[in-house]
Structure formats: structure tokens, C-alpha cells
Amino acid sequence: MKSPFKILLFLCISIILYNCTKEDEIPTDVEINDFVWKAMNAYYLYQDQIPDLADRRFINQPELNSYLRGFATPNSLFLNLLHDRPNTDNKSALLDDFNLMQQPALRVSTTHGVEYGIIAEPGSAENVLGYVQYILPNSNASSQPIARGDFFYAVDDVQLTRGNFNSLLNGATNSYALYMASFDGTNVTADSITVNTVKIPRTIPLTKTEHSHTPVFMAKNIVNGTNNIGYLMYNNDFSTNYINDLNTSFLQFKNQGVNQLILDLRYNVGGGSFIKNMSQIATMITGQFTNETFAKKRWNSKAQPWFEVNQPDSLITKFTNRIYNSDPVNSLGLTDLYIILNGSSSAAELLINSLESHINVHVINSGNTNGNNSVSMTLYNSIDYDSIGNSANHTVAIQPIVAELLNSNDITYENGFTPLLLTCSQETILNLGVLGETSDPLLNEVLNIVNGMPPSPPAICNPNNFTFLYNSVSNQRIVDTGIFIKQNLPNTN
């Protein structure tokens, strides 16, 4: 049992000079800075490693006020209180106006439906070449004869160059034609078609429209060897917007008798990552661990003892059998997951670590993941740091890292995850294949691993030494702000 002294120390010292002693009022000119310091003193994960956040750093409120007046803005104070930014803490943030904070919306964009990349044309100082990465379902491009692996060199007969490709492809013009080409890795040859014995350039007319991105890009089963493999390519964020759609895809897999799963996140845009959302996705993959521990939170040395005594259940997120306590989770009961990444994602890392203490997780990636093993929380200027009752005098809120994450075996992942299969960060654009088919080299390699073959040695990446200049998918990726939680905090009164 934790010492009662530690509990009292947390309740009193963490809000030192705020309500434990009320003889000193907080001047209006330091109100925001006072909130920032006290919130960070109470809940910042690295509080005990920041000298200016020490409980005995200031002996009274006037001394704290003098310190706070040394910072011209709340953000300058906030940055001064962070631990080794950006190496240790690249996630904590201050919001100047919490009213601008938005929940992730359904993903909608104005697009013709061609996701593409741009490389420098070999042998040319100015010309560039576009390649088609994939076509968005139900978009304008999906009705045109254009596909993954195609190349284009011009827009409306204007050669694409380093200086104009962005304005031509992403500018205000909503309708244009792509001029298509063949490319062997060295030479670009304009494609042509014959009309009434006359050769003319082969072009693809495209029109940008408002497009609602498919909740699940692709969900299909692949019978390969003795395995019935579910293949799920998921490109959207991990918010509640798409949880039900994912659940429907898992019902499809369940009805098809899927016994293995490949989760392809190579084009995933990220974002919207709450720990509860990820626990529900983990339950879809498994299902045999209902009410067992998915992840644990470990707060700073002051907050942790208080939660252990007063809110022990809040320290654990469990596997569930309901989507936000309503629809049942469609679970596959799997013991292996093959997850394809291209880089690092806080959401994927949480999923990997939390599942690894229960099942086998096989990571396919272009390198080690970053090790973002922490969670953040939005704190407001109120007696319990909740949005209800926050000060009407300002709109500042902070989103500090407040806890680190562990799995049910108390293992965290600050060093990231090393992939079983090491891939290239850039796909081989001369051999992209078809997504969801064995002609896709990456999927084919993973299918071989599922069937028991050892991973291939790392491939030679970019053997043609192409200069990659732009990628429309990478440009849509949401800044990884980490995993968030919602938590009831002690009332400082």
C-alpha cells in the first residue's frame, strides 16, 4: 500500500501555492503562466527531471510570480519546461486557442483520384516524371484507363518540370489532361494512340471533385497455401469515425473463415489516435482476451501513487467486446498479426506493443520505429484541469505528455520495434504490381512469410538512383501528435 504521506504530497505540493495556501491571490498578469506551470508541475511525465518544475523551486506565490513574469509568452514558458525537446519530448504542445481544437473529421478532399509521386527525369536538369501510386475508389480517375504503375510527363501538353509540377498538378485548375509515357528506368517515351491513321498523344482527362475517402481502402481474403489470409489496407486515421467500418470489415473476414491477417498501413495518414480506439482494433484482431489488459499507463512519480490508490482502474485499458459499449466487436481470435508500415506511427507502435504480450506480431517496415511510448492529455485552466469550469479569461490549454505506456507484461517500447522484414522506404516504381494481388512485390513477400518461408535479405533500395521529389500520399499525412487519453483528474479544491 502506498504511503498516505505520498498521497497528501501529491494533492498538496502538486498544486503548491494554488489552493493549499490561499493567502496570496494570483495576479491577472501571470494567470496563464501560473496555469501552465502548475499543470506541468502536477502532471508532466518528466516533472522530476526539470529543475524549474521542482516542488520546492519556489517558496511562495510571489516568488513564483516573479519567475513567471520572466517569460514574455505562455509558450516561451512552456517550451522552457520541456524535457530535451525534440529528442525526448517532441509531442507536448501548447494551444493558444483551444476553441480551434477539432475532432478528426471524415476524410474529404478535392481530388481527381490519382495518388502519385514525382521523380526527376534521368539525364535532365529540369524535367520531372510522374508515376501513379494508386487510384482512389469511386473517384473521377477510377472511371479512366489509368492505373498504379503508369507514368505521365506533361499536363495539357506542358512538360512537367521541377519548377511547375506543383502548380500544374495541385493548382486552382480542376480539369486537365495527363500526357502518358512509358519509362524503362532511363528513357521517357511519350505514349501515343492512332486515330484515323494519325498518331496523337495518349492522354487521360481528369476532373477534381469533392471526394469522400473510402473508410477501408481494401479488405479481401487471399487463399494462399494452407492459409486463408485476410488482407486489410487501411489508409485513414484511427479516430472513432471509422471504427464501425473496420468492425464491418472484420465481420467479412470472420464470415470468410480468415485464420491469418495482414494489416497494410504503408499509405496510412495517421492521426486521431486515442488509446481506447486502438484497444478496440486490437480486440477485432484477437477477441480471446476480453477484459484482460491491453495497455497500462505509468504517470510521473507524484501522480502515479495517487492513481494507484484512488483510481486504480484508470491505469489500465482493457480489451473489450463492444464498440464504445454498443455494437459487439467482430473478432477473429488470431494468434499472429503481420503489420506493414512505412516509417513510424504512434498508433501502430501502441498496437504492436500491446498485442505482443498476447500474440505474435510480425513487423514489416523500412527501419526501426521511433519508440513513441507515451500518451498526452489536454489540460485546461480549471480546478481539475477539465474543460468544464475553465477560466473565462483566456483560451490557452496545454497537451503535455503525462504518462508512458506499457503492455500487460510491463514492457514499454522507448527503443521502437525492429522489423522482421526490412523494406525500402520508396517502392520500386518500375515494378509496383497490383495492390491486393501477388504481383505487388511487398505483399507477395509477406504472403511467403505467412506460409513459413524465411524473410528475404534486405533488398537494394532505389537501384536506379532516382531522385524522389514529391509524393501526394506523404503530403496528406497528419502530423503524428502521439496517443491521447481522457482521464478524470483530482479536484484541486
Of 159, 182, 212, which residue is a domain's last? Answer: 212
Domain assignment present for residue 235? The answer is yes
Which residues in 256-280 are b (16+ Cβ under 10 Å) and which e? eebbbbbbbbbbbbbbbbbbbbbbb
Residue-level pLDDT at 375: 95
Residue-level pLDDT at 257: 96
Average pLDDT over residues 162-190: 97
For the chain, what percent of residues have pLDDT higher than 90?
Answer: 85
| Residue 331 sits in the same domain as residue 293 | yes
Domain assignment present for residue 492? The answer is no
Looking up residue 189, the CATH number of its domain turns out to be: 2.30.42.10
Does the pLDDT of residue 213 top 90, yes or no?
yes
Which residues in 52-68 are b (16+ Cβ under 10 Å) and which e? ebeeeebeebeebbebb
Distances (CA, A) of 410 to 237, 295, 308, 403, 404: 27, 9, 15, 14, 11
* Per-residue pLDDT tens over the stretch 396-453: 999 999 999 999 999 999 999 999 999 999 999 999 999 999 999 999 999 999 999 9
C-alpha cell of residue 74: 505562455
Residue-level pLDDT at 459: 85
| Residue 120 sits in the same domain as residue 238 | no
* Per-residue pLDDT tens over the stretch 372-383: 999 999 999 999
| Residue 79 sits in the same domain as residue 226 | no
Does the pLDDT of residue 15 top 80, yes or no?
no
Query: Do residues 45 and 300 lie in contact, with contact meaning Cβ atoms separated by under 8 Å?
Result: yes
Pairwise CA distance, residues 263 & 352, whole Å: 11
Domain assignment present for residue 27? The answer is yes
Does the pLDDT of residue 4 top 80, yes or no?
no
Q: Which of 133, 183, 125 is nearest to 153 (CA)?
A: 183
Query: Do residues 339 and 261 lie in contact, with contact meaning Cβ atoms separated by under 8 Å?
Result: no
Query: Do residues 411 and 353 lie in contact, with contact meaning Cβ atoms separated by under 8 Å?
Result: yes
| Residue 200 sits in the same domain as residue 251 | no
* Per-residue pLDDT tens over the stretch 244-275: 999 999 999 999 999 999 999 999 998 878 89
* Per-residue pLDDT tens over the stretch 441-486: 999 999 999 999 999 998 899 999 999 999 999 999 988 888 999 8
Residue-level pLDDT at 17: 43
| Residue 230 sits in the same domain as residue 205 | no
Domain assignment present for residue 269? The answer is yes
Tell me how many domains the chain contains: 3
Does the pLDDT of residue 233 top 50, yes or no?
yes
Residue-level pLDDT at 85: 83
| Residue 159 sits in the same domain as residue 67 | no
Domain assignment present for residue 419? The answer is yes
| Residue 182 sits in the same domain as residue 242 | no
| Residue 251 sits in the same domain as residue 176 | no
Residue-level pLDDT at 463: 95
Domain assignment present for residue 258? The answer is yes
Lowest mean pLDDT among 55-64, 95-104, 420-429: 95-104
Residue-level pLDDT at 206: 98
| Residue 132 sits in the same domain as residue 31 | no
pLDDT confidence of 226, banded at 50, 70, 90?
Answer: confident
Residue-level pLDDT at 492: 63
| Residue 257 sits in the same domain as residue 115 | no
pLDDT confidence of 493, banded at 50, 70, 90?
Answer: low
pLDDT confidence of 142, banded at 50, 70, 90?
Answer: very high
Q: Give this prediction's pTM.
A: 0.91
Do the strands 421-422 and 360-365 form a parallel or antiparallel pair, or are they unpaired? parallel
Does the pLDDT of residue 7 top 60, yes or no?
no
Domain residue limits at 202? 108-212
Which residues, 6+ apart, have CB-to-CB distance to 76 below 8 Å? Answer: none
Of 81, 100, 119, which residue is a domain's last? Answer: 100
| Residue 32 sits in the same domain as residue 156 | no
Domain assignment present for residue 249? The answer is yes
| Residue 387 sits in the same domain as residue 407 | yes
Domain assignment present for residue 465? The answer is no
Looking up residue 416, the CATH number of its domain turns out to be: 3.90.226.10
Of 170, 196, 212, which residue is a domain's last? Answer: 212
